[in-house]
Amino acid sequence: MMQRGVAERGLTTARAGVLWALFHDGPMTQRALAGQLGVTPRNVTGLLDALQADGLVARTAHPTDRRATLVALTGRGRQVTEALRGGRDELAAVLFDGMPPGQLAAFTAGLETVIEQLRAADPGEG
């Protein structure tokens, strides 16, 4: 379902990942974005070229570092990402419908533990 929502908006999974990162963490440099996504700066440049051509992101000069480029969502990029989030929320409602609150809380706590362990095992995460 998520894949379909991404495709319906003319995105690839990689491009949607860029939008999610900017949506959740706000504007950042291309280098920081590449690090967060676990891709090379060259790869993120290609993703940003396509997203900028579609009017979803904007690149501007960094205000304090003349060597860096700052990337941010445009209004349209924010709308697309909010629509993706709505689809994600609908999917979650379907998946967890009828699950007792105590069971859902235990499931969530277990996932948080696994995520923390994955982050601790990945020295590049941060």
Q: For the chain, what are the domain ranges? A: 2-97
Backbone torsion region of residue 32, taken as left when φ is above 0, otherwise alpha when ψ lies between -120 and 50, otherwise beta: alpha
Residue 74 three-state SS = coil
pTM: 0.70
pLDDT tens digits, residue range 62-94?
A: 999 989 999 999 999 999 888 888 766 677 777
What pLDDT, in 10s, does the model give residues 5-51?
665 667 888 898 999 999 999 999 999 999 999 899 899 999 999 99
Cα distance between residue 103 and residue 49, in whole Å? 44
CA distance readout (Å), 27 to 23, 38, 69, 126: 8, 17, 10, 17
Span 90-116, pLDDT tens digits: 777 778 888 888 988 898 889 889 988
CATH class of 2-97: mainly alpha
Residues 6 or more apart whose CB falls under 8 angstroms from that of 122 comprise none
